[in-house]
Amino acid sequence: MIVDPQPPLSPSTARGVVLVVDDQMQNIQVVGTVLTREGYEVIPATSGAQALQRIAARLPDLVLLDVVMPDVDGFAVCKRLREHPDTAGLPVIFVSAANDSETIVRGLEAGGVDYITKPFNKAELLARVRTQVDLQRARETTTRILRERENIVSMVAHDLKNPLGAIRFSAQTLLELPPEKIVTASDLTGHIITTCDQMLKFIDRFLNNRAKETEHERMTTVPISGEQIKEMLTAWYPTAKRKNTTLSVQLSETPLHASGDLFTVRQIVDNLMSNAVKFSPLGSQIVSRIYSENERFIIDIEDEGPGFTESDLARIFQDYTRLSARPTGGESSTGLGLAIAKRGADRMGAKLTVDNLPTGQGCIARLTLPLVTSAA
């Protein structure tokens, strides 16, 4: 007998979650007994209104829906499900004593995927339930894979965009240099080579990770010196200069080393610096500090941009978040940079925070890593 509420089966043991809707509890008990014995989790509903409430609280894999009910009939329930984007693809099988062709056609036109007449054959019911649950779970898996693939493509495009922009800027500057500026040309050429090397490493690592790992990105934890972090930050001098923005990097005189994955730390720093430069007003200042505090290695990046609203801060690390502030130099913004940085920090066991400065003008991004006593 089905008892409401019943203890749910865990996702690993349940073959599927089926909502059984019928205004007669006896009918729910009969169908529920058949399904639970086969390993399905059954959610009962004794009216159309209750069925909609149950679906809003928890989306099942399949709905077995009676047609004739006193408040909202099965046809109306099915139509409402089809009208809402979250439930438009939810499979519904009508289960009814009405077996005339007109009612069956009406059920299918309302959005039902199948129609079973009462009294039903147990084997037939299980076969149809199994087919629809398996199809629904396959659709959900396909949708999830496609969504993950789209996110991966967006992340790759985003992380290649910054170095490509730096390369283009350096190459454009080279074209505009007079012949006597040989030293500057040499520096810019070196910057182009270094940036290209970083892009190639990123692509190689991305391809290797996708080939070897599907769930977790492999990381190599090594000591990272304060000097290495400083080089990552100062690499943004040319980009900041283009917006007449002063970039200063302050490194503690005491030699410091952090524990982390070098590639991921560089990725995080680049995304944070990209945001700082992108949203800083022309002629403003960006201050970066590298220091230790309470046995932690800390990287602070402060800018004089407009800061964030409460709404921004509540969703700042979500994918494709468009902030209220707009880039000050006409740059594009995908809304992925901070989300990528936060995921990288979480995978390393580091802490990333972004907040407004107490002065009310500008913001501070802080990456906190474990501090190690030696580079060995």
Label residue 375 by pLDDT band (50, 70, 90). very low
Reply yes or no on whether the pLDDT at 216 is more than 70.
no
As a whole number of angstroms, the distance between CA 228 and CA 243 comes to: 25
CB of 146 within 8 A of CB of 327?
A: no
CB atoms within 10 A of CB 143: 11
Handedness of CA 289, 292, 297, 298 (dihedral sign): negative
Tokens of 299: 């990287």
pLDDT tens figures, 98-152: 888 888 899 989 999 999 988 888 998 999 999 999 888 888 888 887 777 777 7
- At 215 the pLDDT is 40
Q: DSSP string of 6-30? A: PPPPPTTT-S-EEEEE-S-HHHHHH
As a whole number of angstroms, the distance between CA 278 and CA 372 comes to: 32
For the segment 167-184, the average pLDDT, to the nearest whole number, is: 69
As a whole number of angstroms, the distance between CA 290 and CA 255 comes to: 10
CB of 323 within 8 A of CB of 316?
A: yes
Label residue 154 by pLDDT band (50, 70, 90). low
Please state whether 111 falls in left (phi above 0), alpha (psi between -120 and 50) or beta.
left
Whole-number Cα distances in Å, 44 to 76, 77, 85, 120, 309:
18, 15, 23, 18, 44
- At 312 the pLDDT is 87
**CA-angle at 295, arms to 290 and 300, nearest 5°:** 25
pLDDT tens figures, 239-256: 888 889 999 999 998 899
Greater confidence, 328 or 179? 328
The HSE-up count of residue 104 (CA atoms within 13 Å, CB side) is: 9
CB atoms within 10 A of CB 155: 19
| Backbone dihedral angles phi then psi of residue 128, each to the nearest 5 degrees | -70, -40
Residue from 261, 270, 290 nearest 195 by CA: 270
- At 79 the pLDDT is 92
Whole-number Cα distances in Å, 307 to 156, 218, 236, 320:
27, 34, 21, 18
Q: What is the 8-class DSSP label of residue 113?
A: S
As a whole number of angstroms, the distance between CA 146 and CA 149 comes to: 5
pTM: 0.49
Label residue 373 by pLDDT band (50, 70, 90). confident
For the segment 345-370, the average pLDDT, to the nearest whole number, is: 92
